[in-house]
Amino acid sequence: MKAVILAGGKGTRGKPYSEYFPKAMTPINGKPLIDYIVKYLNTFDFIKEIIIVSDFSKLGGQIKNYYQNPKFNKKISFVQDSQSGTAGDLLHMGGKLDGDPGFILWFVDNLCAIDLKEMYKFFLEKKSTACIATRTKRKEETGFAIVKEGIVHQFKEKPIMNLPMSECLGIYILGKGIIKNIKAKSKQKEINLSFDILQELSKNGKVSSYDIGNNQWIDADSPMKLDRNQKEVKKIIKQMGL
């Protein structure tokens, strides 16, 4: 099985830093964010190749330069971002996804020690076309208060909240049949994976949800977000065994 890391995007939430380096290269303890994801993917024996998608003609070139260092595993290959949306990029892989029963898709601004082996097992059990990582609880970044009749009775600093709906994370396992669904939308200039592809599949019960349970996850969309959540980031990296 192969893993595709989507490392494109304009990084608007990371400005002004994203004007100088892509979010994939956001430093964490002296190493870029993407390196933690690559190393974590390499801990799974069933992942035979990692494909990084980015705009290498621009800031994404920093990613390619980093991994062209001889010390890195040759399992890594690169595909130029086609600027055709999160699903559209999967049509421009040059046959790299042919022959496999499915593949992992990981958005680079997701940091989580998800058990991909168990997620893949769940994907097969559900006989789904796509499986998305989800969670039903999260630690809030702000403080809350218990209020009754306008009076604060208790403060809760950054509590863990149960969510009314499952939150979708940017980690997927997609069956090879997904490419056929994307091709059917190929006339569109941009094809969004969630709204143009998975939304339709979900109506037919073809999308499964793998809950990450007690594993933590962070949307690493900017250096400021990572800096504010240093304890959580360190915990996730420890969970990843890195």
**Domain coverage including residue 227:** 2-136+164-239
Assess if residue 143 is contained within a domain. no
Domain-located, residue 41? yes
Residue 5 has pLDDT above 70, yes or no: yes
Dump pLDDT digits (tens) for 53-100: 999 989 999 999 998 866 666 689 999 998 898 999 898 887 888 878
Q: What is the mean pLDDT of residues 34-42?
A: 96
Q: Return the CATH number at 37.
A: 3.90.550.10
Residue 22 is assigned to a structural domain of this protein: yes
Query: Strand ranges (DSSP E) for 81-158?
Result: 102-107, 110-112, 130-139, 144-148, 151-156
Residue 142 lies in a domain: no
Which residue would you say has higher pLDDT here, 60 or 19? 60
pLDDT tens by residue, 171-189: 999 998 899 999 999 889 9
Residue 156 domain-assigned (yes or no):
no
pTM for the whole structure? 0.90
How far apart CA 49 and CA 19 sit, in angstroms, is 30
148 domain-assigned: no
Q: Tokens 């969309």, residue?
A: 221
User: Does the residue 204 lie in any domain?
Assistant: yes
Tell whether 155 is covered by a domain: no
Q: Six-digit token pair at 80? A: 């130029």
- 3-state DSSP percent of the chain in helix, strand and coil, to 5: 30, 30, 40
- How many domains is the chain partitioned into structurally? 1
Confidence of residue 26 (pLDDT cuts 50, 70, 90): very high
Map tokens 């996804």 to a residue.
Answer: 97
Helix (H, G, I), strand (E, B) or coil at 96: coil
Measure CA 78 to chain center.
17
- Is 11 a residue whose pLDDT tops 70? no
